[in-house]
Amino acid sequence: MKQIQVHYAELSTKGKNRQYFQNKLATHINYHLSFLEEKVTVRPRHDYLYLEWEHMDAQPLLDILKDVPGIARFEPVYQVELSMDAIEEQALALFQKLDLKDDDTFRIQARRPNRHFPENSMAIQRQVGSSVGQAFPQLSVDLDHADHTLVISVQKDGAFMSVESYPGLGGLPYGTSGKGLLMLSGGFDSPIAGYQMMKRGMAIEAVHFASPPYTSPQALDKTKRLTARLAHFGMPITFIEVPFTKIQTTIKEVIPDDSSMTVMRRMMLRIMERLAIQRESLAVINGEALGQVASQTLESMYVINEVTSLPILRPLIATDKNEIIEIARSIGTYDLSNEPFDDCCTVFAPVQPHTRPKLGAIEKLEERLDVDALVEEALAGITLETIAPDDESNSHTNLL
Ligand code: ATP
Ligand code: MG
């Protein structure tokens, strides 16, 4: 049997809810495992979660685990029979597989919960350490800061050994922090905002405001592909398209150019609030960063936010653009966001939007619109689609 031991991130504070978090993590991992050829068993236990299987190489499993929220780190563990010969043989095989540099250091850490095993942990460490040292003379021992640590745990049913440890994403298991509606444009920021909340355990649905024919089918397709990339870090995501053309053309007609952006954003949020009720979500997520553009000054956010009491989560509020770009590159949204198709905000962008809109003035201007009717009409035209992770070909939409 082959095994990977998964260390939970941040579960020590969860008390009685611990099992709920563990099961959510298992469900998420199981979803991604379901695309593999071989059956892999997931066993959530109190201290660790285990993946167990028979034949395949560990690499596809490592590739899955590195992008699953709620994991601190994970380690392939090899089980051998209870004898010093078997342990030493496996130790050499494990070091053989490592990419060893000339002055690397190593150490052996042995535990012996199985007291029937004749050698104690000190003796195991000494004996295995000396055969590794002989087989790999370029290595020296460092008990405090070794480059390679071989962990040996001698248990009832065998000795479990691991020498590689991989960092996980951290955060909380997907879906343990409720559900948020992500306002997803085709830009760089909003996908990262969604990713940050997913990493923190929030399930998301993606809402995109589209203004055909002013915005292209390619722009819509781009946001769907961004959604598929985000789903890679979670489960299939519901994509909600809101028809926004009528609202934007009406605003263009009756609202002065310098206030149109503020009014447009307020219309978006009014629709988001209604969608949140429909979709049983308690929060809206967007990609705003303080001061980045005219609609993201404190004065703008105050006036826009005023239409709803729903929490608006802005995970990027204090993040610089270059940090956002760095995350976009690391999670694979950069190239998609970089595609040149304009979304509705760019197409209808005013030449000189107010950076300090006044609430009273905006409310007065909005009297020129039939706000309720416009909101109802947009809501009546929404379409829903389930989008599977982009690297999994058979979309298991029925698993939602
Ligand atoms: P992004 O890079 O995410 O587009 P941005 O810096 O271009 O953000 P804005 O265009 O002002 O900023 O948009 C601010 C936020 O409003 C976005 O991060 C996104 O959450 C939301 N948003 C903007 N346009 C749309 C849209 N067409 N559909 C859904 N949400 C949108
Ligand atoms: Mg944008």
Q: Which atom of ligand 1 is nearest to the CA of 182?
A: 20
Residue 125 domain-assigned?
A: yes
From the CA atom positions of the chain, what is the Rg in Å? 27
Q: Is 310 part of any domain?
A: yes
Same structural domain, 24 and 56: yes
Q: Is there a single domain that holds both residue 343 and residue 323?
A: yes
Residues within 5 A (CB) of ion ligand 2: 185, 187
In a shared domain, residues 93 and 188:
no
Domain identity same for 103 and 183: no
Show the 3-state SS of the chain: CEEEEEEECCCCCCHHHHHHHHHHHHHHHHHHHCCCCCCCEEEECCCEEEEEECCCCCHHHHHHHCCCCCEEEEEEEEEECCCHHHHHHHHHHHHHHCCCCCCCEEEEEEECCCCCCCCCHHHHHHHHHHHHHHHCCCCEECCCCCCEEEEEEEECCEEEEECCCEEEEECCCCCCCCEEEEECCCCCHHHHHHHHHHHCCCEEEEEEEECCCCCCHHHHHHHHHHHHHHHCCCCCEEEEEEECHHHHHHHHHHCCHHHHHHHHHHHHHHHHHHHHHHCCCCEEECCCCCCCCHHHCHHHHHHHHCCCCCCEECCCCCCCHHHHHHHHHHHCCHHHHCCCCCCHHHHCCCCCCCCCCCHHHHHHHHCCCCHHHHHHHHHHCCEEEEECCCCCCCCCHHHC
Answer whether residue 174 is part of any domain. Answer: no
Rounded Cα distance between 197 and 201, Å, is 7
| Of residues 198, 230, 241, the one with CA closest to residue 343 | 241
Ligand 1 and 182: CB distance under 6 A? no
Measured by CA distance, the residue closest to atom 7 of ligand 1 is 187
Is 159 a pocket residue for ligand 1 (Cβ < 6 Å)?
no
Domain-embedded: residue 164 = yes
Residue 388 lies in a domain: yes
pTM of the model: 0.91
Residues of the chain predicted below pLDDT 50: 394-400
Beta strands at 203-210 and 237-243: parallel, antiparallel or unpaired: parallel
State residue 222's pLDDT score. 96
CATH number at residue 230: 3.40.50.620
Q: Which atom of ligand 1 is nearest to the CA of 207?
A: 29
Bin 15: left if φ > 0, else alpha if -120 < ψ < 50, else beta.
Answer: left
User: Which ligand 1 atom is the nearest neighbour of the CA of 210?
Assistant: 27
Do 159 and 40 have their domain in common?
A: yes
Q: How many domains does the chain have?
A: 2
| CATH value at residue 12 | 3.30.2130.30
- Whether residues 36 and 77 share a domain: the answer is yes
Instruction: Give 193 Cα–ligand 2 centroid separation in angstroms.
Output: 12
**263 and 117 housed in the same domain:** no
Mark which of 128, 144, 169 sits at the end of a domain. 169
Domain that holds residue 124: 2-169
Whether 200 and 88 share a structural domain = no
Please check whether residues 282 and 316 belong to one and the same domain.
yes
- Judge whether 43 lies within some domain: yes
Structural domain contains residue 236:
yes
Distance, in Å, from the CA atom of 22 to the CA atom of 282, rounded to the nearest integer, reads 23
Indicate whether 246 and 328 sit together in one domain. yes
- Let me know whether 286 and 266 are in one domain: yes
Domain end call among 169, 194, 221: 169
Best residue among 181, 182, 183, 272 to mutate for probing ligand 1's pocket (most ligand atoms within 8 Å of CB) is 183
Distance from residue 184's CA to the centre of ligand 1 (Å): 6
Which residue of 182, 185, 337 sits with most ligand 1 atoms within 8 Å of its CB, as the best mutation to test the pocket?
185
Do 238 and 158 lie in one domain? The reply is no
Task: Using the 3D structure, point to which of 120, 150, 169 is the last residue of a domain.
Answer: 169
Distance CA 197, CA 206 (A): 12
Distance 365 CA to ligand 1 centre (A): 23
On whether residue 370 sits in a domain, the answer given is: yes
- For residue 192, the ligand 1 atom closest to its alpha carbon is 3
Q: Is the CB of 348 under 6 A from ligand 1?
A: no
